[in-house]
Amino acid sequence: MSCKSKGINGERDLVHQFWALGLACQRSAGSGSSRFPSPDLIVGNKTRKLAIECKITKDSKKYFTNEEIEALKEFSDIFGAEPWIAVKFKKTDWFFLTLEDLNRSNKCYIADVNMAKTKGLLINELISDNY
Amino acid sequence: MSCKSKGINGERDLVHQFWALGLACQRSAGSGSSRFPSPDLIVGNKTRKLAIECKITKDSKKYFTNEEIEALKEFSDIFGAEPWIAVKFKKTDWFFLTLEDLNRSNKCYIADVNMAKTKGLLINELISDNY
């Protein structure tokens, strides 16, 4: 399976999970190809709206370019949504991270599996009313 | 140009117009093929969220199936968005209609060009603060 189809299947898996938990979720057509910022997923209910960039990796680290993070911030700011990163490592569930959770280098942002297990939220925690 | 690509180009045109007017807009990947309700466009700013089903036609009437309208209602209700229909006839701009604006038959909902010109909003009217 190609990287791209693995990514799309991963996003579809999250779409199913959000709907099953009672939130509406839409996958973007334009992710990566649109000239406008476009998060992979928009998720919402009457009280919260989330813009989510999703990544799957077999490695223990996943990198996000500055441009990806800036686009997520821009979309979220204009649309009125919380910006979130969803990342899934080998044999882990999806972890949800804020932009502040990510580690920083000069050229990119980094999520690693140990940081994600420490700071990340599981989907149930993400959408809990207590968050 | 096929019907499908004409539809996609029409949606892209609307995406551009919304961004130019200062609203964030995302085109759906799943429209028509997803098992979950998925409007063609989600549009928003900090105060309003719109779920929009888009149609282009060369005729003077455009039909919407009951299923399309129910899916738009369901998504909008769960996500917390206003449901809107965008329809563009030959040589007209896009008109934005509420579900109540549409005419009704047993099997479907109908927008016709005269009704759209009378009841429809232009994009500037749709996003005006006065609406």
What ipTM was predicted for this assembly? 0.91
The verdict on A105 touching B (C-beta cutoff 8 Å) is: no
Is A60 a member of any domain? yes
- In chain B, the percentage of residues whose pLDDT exceeds 90 is 80
Question: Chain B: nearest CA to A44, how far in angstroms?
Answer: 5
Tell if the CB–CB gap between B26 and A26 is shorter than 8 Å.
yes
Is residue A48 packed enough to be buried (19+ CB in 10 Å), middle (13-18) or exposed (0-12)? middle
CATH number at residue A53: 3.40.1350.10
Instruction: Measure CB to CB from residue A36 to each of B19, B37, B44 and give the nearest one.
Output: B19
Question: Chain A: nearest CA to B27, how far in angstroms?
Answer: 6
Chain A (35-94) residues lying within 8 Å, Cβ to Cβ, of chain B: 36-39, 42, 44-47, 49, 75, 78-81
Within a 13 Å sphere around the CA of A87, how many CA atoms are in the beta-carbon half? 27
Domain count, chain A: 1
Q: Please tell me the predicted confidence (pLDDT) of residue A1.
A: 52
Q: Please tell me the predicted confidence (pLDDT) of residue A23.
A: 97
Q: Please tell me the predicted confidence (pLDDT) of residue B130.
A: 52
Which domain, by its residues, includes A47?
Answer: 3-126
Is B34 a member of any domain? yes
3-state DSSP of chain A? CCHHHHHHHHHHHHHHHHHHCCCEEEEECCCCCCCCCCCCEEEECCCCEEEEEEEECCCCEEEEEHHHHHHHHHHHHHHCCEEEEEEECCCCCEEEECHHHCEECCCEEEEEHHHHHHHCECHHHHCCCCC
> Of A3-7, B82-86, B116-120, which gets the smallest average pLDDT?
A3-7
Place of tokens 């297990």: A117
Is A131 a member of any domain? no
Is A109 a member of any domain? yes
Tell if the CB–CB gap between B34 and A27 is shorter than 8 Å.
yes
Q: Please tell me the predicted confidence (pLDDT) of residue A3.
A: 58
Is B131 a member of any domain? no
pLDDT (tens digit per residue) in A91-111: 999 999 999 999 999 889 999
Q: What is the pTM of this model?
A: 0.92
Tell if the CB–CB gap between B36 and A25 is shorter than 8 Å.
yes
Tell if the CB–CB gap between B42 and A29 is shorter than 8 Å.
no
Angstrom distance (rounded) from CA B4 to CA B11: 11
